[in-house]
Structure 1
Amino acid sequence: MPRSKRDKKISLTKTDRKGLAWKQKIIEDIRHCVEKYPNIFVFQVQNMRNSLLKDLRQEWKSNSRFFFGKNRIMQIGLGRSKAEEVEVDLHKLSKRLTGQVGLLFTEKSKEEVLEWAQNYWAIEYARSGFKATETVVLPAGPLEEFTHSIEPHLRSLGMPTKLQKGVVTLYSDYTVCEEGKTLTPEQARILKLIAKPMARFQLTIKCSWTKDTGFELHVEDNINDDDDKTDSGQGDEVEDEEMDQDDSDNEDEDD
């Protein structure tokens, strides 16, 4: 049998990876934004969703710029110490770039951004590891919202289902999750299948810096601003691949 033309071996050593040039571009973009925008905010994300962050980027595109990626790279862009900072007190923002956080450069006033962040949220489906906000129990009986073809999948997730005259049916009551308990991957999938969102995508403004008033802390922490040592950026590994993708999308956007 002749060998298929599609049957080709690709060496992974030849695939492109984001290297020094990519990191340097982000650093330069951040420094450019420091000059361009009068206000900078460090925001923390709860229940991160790439699609919602991309929507925000699009919505704020005309007068703002979001960065959400490698914390250490963003720290270098702002300056990790008094000696490195590109503007006075920007190293204080760098110290707070830990965990799932990002930078917002904007022409909008501090008051506008704080009010918007306080009122903005979006409901999303919970992922595994999330603590259930309520107890969800499905009563025995037909599940008419599902087609017969999905019944094996429901069974594989642990649901006591069967086909009865071509209709997916629960043959006993089934507790999907209990309030306060951590969701398993199977439970998270079931909640999505039954259209039961529990998580909130939300942003919290940790601190800000403006060209007029300088640095301001909005969420109390135990970081010593007098200490010239900067956090190593722990927390970068959380959803690392998604964050990297977000940064590459961000760099493709026009200022």
Structure 2
Amino acid sequence: MPKSRRSKLVSLTKVSKKTKEHKGAMINEVQENVDKWQYCWLFEVGNMRNSHLKTVRKLWKDSARIFFGRGAVMAKALGTTPEQEHKAGLHKIAQKIKGQVGILFTNSPPAEVTDWFADFHPPDFARSGNKATQTFILPEGPVMQQHSTPPEPFPHNEEPQLRKLGLHTKMVRGVPTLENPHTVCQAGKTLTPEQAQLLKLVGVKMITFRVGLRAYWTAETGVVTQVEGESVDGALVEEKTSDGEDEDEVMSD
């Protein structure tokens, strides 16, 4: 008998959950990397973009191992107390695994790691909720796209989208044109969805993806060293160290 061609309902609510086995496997993997590498870094991410984090993973794939996400499992793997820590000093890293943070294992010297990440800050398009880093004004005349050099005018078929995003345009010789300057956003103010979309269409990038190195643990000594410099939010971070006997915090948010 031939199969029925009638539409069948397919449930989209069945999503495979992470089991205890998955969590256990991740804990084992983190601990194996603790035993393998000389340094364990704690890092935070500003203006998270998966594409940029994938680039970091790709560029470090031969000299590091990166874990990001599922912070509770990573913290448990390292051990959050001196009694539970996998190796001496690691609980000082584990206690700070909160929010958009990850851990990086490597044998590369600390100076090399900090220099590399200090230079890695690709720009990207802001999203709704981000704060504008500058006041951006579209001048009177043809609405130009900044994606190319030199800038090019928007095609005629995109005028409805521009008008939907708040521009008062008219067609002049087939080109969407402004009769008056239009302020897209003002520096320091939170972007609306329409503003963020318009900035993306125009080609203006206002945020920077950053990996802020907060601290690193050294396997040989068990010492946790806080990194000196700026965090992803621009706050100054000073450097200090702590040995395995000192229970004071060695990293500041």
Higher relative contact order (CA 8 A, sep 6+): 1
Q: Which amino acid aligns with 1:94?
A: A
For 1:157-236, what aligned pairs fall within 5 Å after superposition? 157-214=165-222, 215-218=224-227, 219=237, 226=247
Could you tell me which residue of structure 2 aligns to residue 56 of structure 1? 56
- Aligned AA (1:152): P
Highest Rg: 1 or 2?
2
Deviation at 1:153, TM superposition (A): 1.2
Q: CA deviation at 1:16?
A: 2.1
Corresponding position of 1:236: none
Identity %: 44
* TM-score, with length taken from structure 1: 0.80
| Deviation (angstroms), 1:207 | 0.8
The offset of 1:76, in angstroms, is 0.9
Displacement of 1:6 after TM fit?
7.3
Pairwise CA distance, 1:213: 3.1
- Corresponding residue of 1:238: none
Q: CA, structure 1 residues 88+6, in 2 after alignment: closer, same or farther (shift >3 Å)?
A: farther
Give the 3-state SS of the residue equivalent to 1:121 in structure 2. Answer: coil
In structure 2, give the amino acid aligned to 1:217: Q
SS state at 1:12 partner: coil
Runs of 4+ in structure 1 over 4 Å off: none
Distance change in 2, residues 1:14/1:125 (3 Å): closer
TM-score by length of 2: 0.81
In structure 2, the residue corresponding to 1:99 is in which secondary structure? coil
Alpha-carbon separation, structure 2, partners of 1:53 and 1:5: 44
Unaligned runs of 5+ in 2: 144-151, 228-236, 240-245
**C-alpha distance in 2 between matches for 1:202 and 1:93:** 20
Q: Once the two structures are superposed, what CA deviation does each residue of 1:212-244 show, in whole Å capped at 9, x if it has no partner?
A: 2321122459xxx7389xxxxxxxxxxxxxxxx
Secondary structure of 1:197's aligned partner:
coil
> Within 1, Cα distance between the matches of 2:187 and 2:5?
54
Within the alignment, does 1:82 sit opposite 2:82 as a pair? yes
> Equivalent residues in 2 for 1:126-165 (5 A)?
126-143=126-143, 145-165=153-173
Q: Flag the structure with higher helix content.
A: 1
Could you report, residue by residue, the CA deviation over 1:58-77 in whole angstroms, capped at 9, with x for unpaired residues? 11001101111021111011
CA RMSD in angstroms comes to 2.4
1:22-63 deviation line (CA, Å, top 9, x unaligned):
322221211111011111100111111110110110110011
Call closer, same or farther: CA 1:91–1:15 in 2, change over 3 Å: same
What amino acid is the match of 1:35? Answer: D
Classify 1:187/1:41 alpha carbon distance in 2 versus 1 (closer, same or farther; 3 Å): same
User: Over residues 75-98 of structure 1, what are the superposed CA-to-partner deviations in whole Å (9 max), with x where a residue is unaligned?
Assistant: 011112112110001010011111
Which whole-Å CA distance do the structure 2 matches of 1:170 and 1:154 have between them? 11
Over 3 Å counting, the alpha-carbon distance change for 1:94 and 1:6 in structure 2 is farther
Code of the residue aligned with 2:164 in structure 1: it is S
Q: Confirm or deny that 1:32 pairs with 2:32.
A: yes
